[in-house]
Amino acid sequence: MVLIDAHAHMSDGAFATDLEAVLQAAAEVGVEGIVAVSENLEDAQRVLDLAERFPSLKPCIGLYPDTLDVEVAEAMVSFIRAHSDRLVGIGEVGLDHWVVKEAEEWEIQEQTFAKFIALSKELDLPLNVHSRSAGRHTVRFLQEQGAQKVLMHAFDGKASAAMEGIEAGYYFSIPPSVVRSQQKQKLIHHLPLDRLLLETDSPVLGPDPACRNEPKNVVISCQAIASAKDVSVEEVARVTSANARRLFPKAFPSSGSS
């Protein structure tokens, strides 16, 4: 059974002492690859360095949306352009109305996000999108900006808002926290399997919020989707891996098995 973790923070300090063991544990349950996202420029360089050491890590570089500095955003755009040949996607990027509360700050977020959407189209790289407390707004903003290759990671909005994303051709990834989230369980019921991916968002969004999350827990996401859709775990693994290959072709070249 092949599994793919479409969004994880493997450069996080939580993995500073045992990353190799964490990746080995993931491989033992069938995790073929992990889309490793960044939050800032320093983090971006760490992701690239780790991807050189560990082939299972697929670098996806972006700027967390709580950064409201236009110059920093421009520097990240330049960094992504300079390293685009090594990247499998742009992220995480997006909008956040949970940390960022003021309307004038939302405007800065949108200006920055628009830059990354344009860059995604220019470089033909998919977007790995954060949308906390701004789900419907983020989906509509992506549509307005003409975004085409999109992963909505750990979407916390209503199923009706997610369906607008489905209609636009976007994908949604489900973290292990689904086991303790009625919202995400409802989301699984409404969204078609051929638009779902697995993720962990390691080291957070695990089945137990008090414990460090790891890529091996992508199995929990897979099991939750299988249960909700009344299909086998193997079928969920097969379809979600095929979806990941479709969205992230540079990371996961298509194979006959998926």
- Tens-digit pLDDT profile for residues 192-222: 999 999 999 999 999 999 999 999 999 999 9
Six token digits for residue 24: 């080995």
* Residue 22 in domain: yes
Is the pLDDT score of 256 beyond 50?
A: no
Is the pLDDT score of 242 beyond 60?
A: yes
* Residue 258 in domain: no
- Tens-digit pLDDT profile for residues 52-108: 999 999 999 999 999 999 999 999 999 999 999 999 999 999 999 999 999 899 999
* Residue 253 in domain: no
* Residue 12 in domain: yes
* Residue 133 in domain: yes
Residue pair 187/172 in contact by the 8 Å Cβ criterion: yes
* pLDDT, mean of residues 149-173: 98
Alpha-carbon distance of 38 to 57, in angstroms, equals 12
Task: Confirm whether pTM is higher than 0.85.
Answer: yes
* Residue 192 in domain: yes
* Residue 71 in domain: yes
Q: Which domain holds residue 229?
A: 3-247
Alpha-carbon distance of 29 to 19, in angstroms, equals 16
* Residue 121 in domain: yes
Number of domains in the chain: 1
Q: What is the CATH number of the domain that holds 32?
A: 3.20.20.140
pLDDT at 255: 57
Bridge partner list, 129 = 93, 152
Percent of the chain topping pLDDT 70: 98
pLDDT at 257: 40
pLDDT at 98: 96
DSSP sequence for 178-205: GGG-HHHHHHHHHS-GGGEEE---TTSS
Alpha-carbon distance of 134 to 205, in angstroms, equals 18
* pLDDT, mean of residues 109-118: 98
- Tens-digit pLDDT profile for residues 179-196: 999 999 999 999 999 999
